[in-house]
Amino acid sequence: MKARKRIGLVAHDARKADLAEWVKYNEGTLSRHDLWATGTTGRMLQAQCPSLDIARLKSGPLGGDQQLGAMIAENRLDVLIFFTDPMSSQPHDVDVKALTRLSTVYNIVLAMTRSTADFVINSPLFQSADYHRVIPDYETYIQRRQP
């Protein structure tokens, strides 16, 4: 993982303001990294932090979550900051679950709470270019015999 991290930013509607506040607080650090956000979240973040260069994807329910998932599968994302709302059902919950699953499959950093995001961004490993993320080897799984 390089010193310049590739970071995805997304939040459910009830958590967008919290993510925007977190991004604003960490604007200096985040400005040294490549940022992507799903549509509505990205628009809010750009309004809150116009100095940040945030590439906007589609809105989550319209494919933005899946675009982030593709970036993970293609090794084009290092960190996903995804503030979820545990109190509301999401109409695109299957997309959300797929995104968090891919984060696990490819062993990328996933912060779903503000506390976790704080620990991640303040970790010496986040500041370092020396971290080697181990991507699990799924060759045995791919080559398995089907019944």
Q: What are phi and psi of 34, to 5 degrees?
A: -90, 130
What value does the CA radius of gyration of the chain take, rounded to a whole number of Å? 16
Question: 3-state class of 38 per DSSP?
Answer: coil
Tell me how far apart the alpha carbons of residues 38 and 134 are, in angstroms, rounded to a whole number.
26
Question: 3-state class of 34 per DSSP?
Answer: strand
Known active-site residue 93? no
Q: Say which of 18, 34, 53, 65 is annotated catalytic.
A: 65
Catalytic residue list: 65
